[in-house]
Amino acid sequence: MTFTSDAKEKSATIWQKNFTHPFIRELHQGILPEEKFRYYLLQDRYYLRQLQALYRQIAEKTEHAKIRVFFEQGGKRLVAGEQAIRNTLFQEMGISNNEIKQVPMAEVPYHYVSHMYRQLIYSPTVSFASLLPCALLYQEIGLTLNQTGSPHPYYQTWIDTCITEESMAIVSEFQQLLNECYEQASTAEQQQMLEAFHISTYMEYAFWEMAYHRKTWGDETYA
């Protein structure tokens, strides 16, 4: 068994729920209200910026040469590619710098990023494991939705970003490295890796939920 197979088995229920969340279903159908997608993009922007900082932390702290190279090269390309496409969507949707400043980071991305940073307490490898659900889920969701595509041009653009040739190659390398680390890890560290992945999978679902209801903190919503 590999890390990916063990992790997806542990998180099977919540993993599948990500594919059927109303945000994803309506995005696929092209009927998702644009203000919800807009809010998602703004919050995702905060998440991606924090992800870049976490990549640097893992690269600095890891003793695994392959992981260091991955985060210094492949990881950077993955985030840079996602940011470039999102910048294009920002321009097409007229999301201004002023609007960005007016929308603060919501509770879910704050806790999601905090969770991934917290894994550094255990090891850079455990933090590495907490990053996989985002990359792998987006790829699998993108492949599923692209079978029929979305009639909405913004939403099809988003789907396309999930399944570029470069991003899929990077996600494949991501899994290979984690599988190697998993084989070499102690039983205790393996369990920490699986738990980190599991929590991140829940946070991915929470992200869709936050965007769909435009949640900020607690029960408050963005006006």
- At residue 56, the pLDDT reads 86
Could you tell me if 84 and 21 are in contact, meaning their C-beta atoms sit under 8 angstroms apart?
no
SS3 61: helix
Could you tell me if 188 and 103 are in contact, meaning their C-beta atoms sit under 8 angstroms apart?
no
Rounded CA-CA distance 184/195 in Å is: 17
Give pLDDT tens digits for 154-175.
Answer: 999 999 989 999 889 989 999 9
SS3 163: coil
Question: If you ran DSSP here, which 8-state letter would residue 151 be given?
Answer: S
Kind plus residue range of the DSSP H or E element containing 91: helix 74-93
- At residue 79, the pLDDT reads 65
pTM of the predicted model, to two decimals?
0.94
The structure tokens listed for 90 are 């920002």
Give pLDDT tens digits for 54-108.
Answer: 988 998 999 888 889 888 876 666 666 666 777 789 989 999 999 999 999 999 9
- At residue 74, the pLDDT reads 60
pLDDT over 70 (residue 183)? yes
Grade residue 142 by pLDDT with cuts at 50, 70 and 90: very high
- At residue 129, the pLDDT reads 97
Look over the chain and give the mean of its residue pLDDT values, rounded to a whole number: 92
Placement of tokens 């963005």 in the chain:
222
Contacts of 206 (CB under 8 A, 6+ apart): 108, 112
